[in-house]
Amino acid sequence: MPLSQDILFEAQPYLIASEKHPFVQGIIHATLSSEQLRYYDEQDIAFEYNEVGIINALINASTTTEQALLFHQRQALQLTMLRDWLDREPKSMPHNWETLKQTPIQPINQLYRQHMSATIQTHSVLQILPSFAAGEWLYIELGKFVAGQARVDKEPFRSFLTMGGDAFLGPNGFIQQFFNIIDHEAQSATPREQEQAKQTFLKSCLLEWYFFDAAYKQLTWNDWQQAALKGDGGPLL
């Protein structure tokens, strides 16, 4: 069985868990507060900025020119999406390319970003790509899920979880091509390297759930500090 098929089989429960998460349900039913949306918006734009570094590493680690060109295309799309997102930011939360780099990174976002960045030092597409492809896959699948629900059709909820479109979907879309690359690289990898790649993918899926959870609860380092130093914390994770 190709590695990607094995990975996707094991990733299904994580997708279902995210579909059920109250943050995702809150997008469908338009029940999230503006504070919850604001937290997500701020953390996610910084997360996407971190992905720029991951995609750069993929270009560097590519084993063929075709791979490098594909990652380069994905990078161009990432930068275009970030530019348009920055332009859309409300006056109450102004972000530009410079201030983006100073966004305070809250605990789960930090954990997820570092999980992804830690793969860079392997210089291996097979190890780096799953850390990034998991979020791409999950967002595309959640987009399909949400589109199939009777979602409340009003902004700002309408624009959430809409990553998709022709560039991402179909046999020539990014996500299928990423899985093809994982399968190609897996052919010359050891079983241990293949297992490591799978576990990296699954950990990203798990951290996606926690990313929604952190936004739902608006968890900050301050909460963690209070819980630790004042001993007044309930379960924060």
Ligand X SMILES: Cc1ncc(CN)c(N)n1
The sign one gets for the Cα dihedral 121, 127, 130, 131 is negative
In the complex, the smallest distance separating the C-beta of residue 230 from ligand X, rounded to whole angstroms, is 30
x-or-dash string of contact with ligand X, 185-214, rule CB under 6 A:
-----------------------x--x---
User: Tokens at residue 200, please?
Assistant: 């990296």
Q: Which residue is nearest to ligand X (CB)?
A: 135
x-or-dash string of contact with ligand X, 134-153, rule CB under 6 A:
-xx--x--------------
Is 42 a residue that touches ligand X (CB under 6 A)? no
By CB under 6 A, which span of 57-65, 93-101, 133-141, 173-181 interacts with ligand X?
Answer: 133-141
Cβ proximity to ligand X, 47 vs 201, nearer residue: 47
By CB under 6 A, which span of 3-11, 46-54, 121-129, 150-158 interacts with ligand X?
Answer: 46-54
Is 47 a residue that touches ligand X (CB under 6 A)? yes
In the complex, the smallest distance separating the C-beta of residue 44 from ligand X, rounded to whole angstroms, is 5
CA dist., res. 197 & res. 126, Å (int): 6
Contact (Cβ atoms closer than 8 angstroms) between residue 216 and residue 39: no
Contact (Cβ atoms closer than 8 angstroms) between residue 27 and residue 36: no
CA dist., res. 120 & res. 110, Å (int): 16
| Region for 30 from its dihedrals, namely left if φ exceeds 0, alpha if ψ lies in -120 to 50, beta otherwise | left
Is 48 a residue that touches ligand X (CB under 6 A)? yes
Is 157 a residue that touches ligand X (CB under 6 A)? no
CA dist., res. 213 & res. 235, Å (int): 12
The sign one gets for the Cα dihedral 190, 196, 199, 200 is negative
Cβ proximity to ligand X, 44 vs 193, nearer residue: 44
- Token pair 């809150």: residue: 26
**Which residues of the chain form contacts with ligand X (CB under 6 A)?**
44, 47-48, 51, 135-136, 139, 163, 208, 211
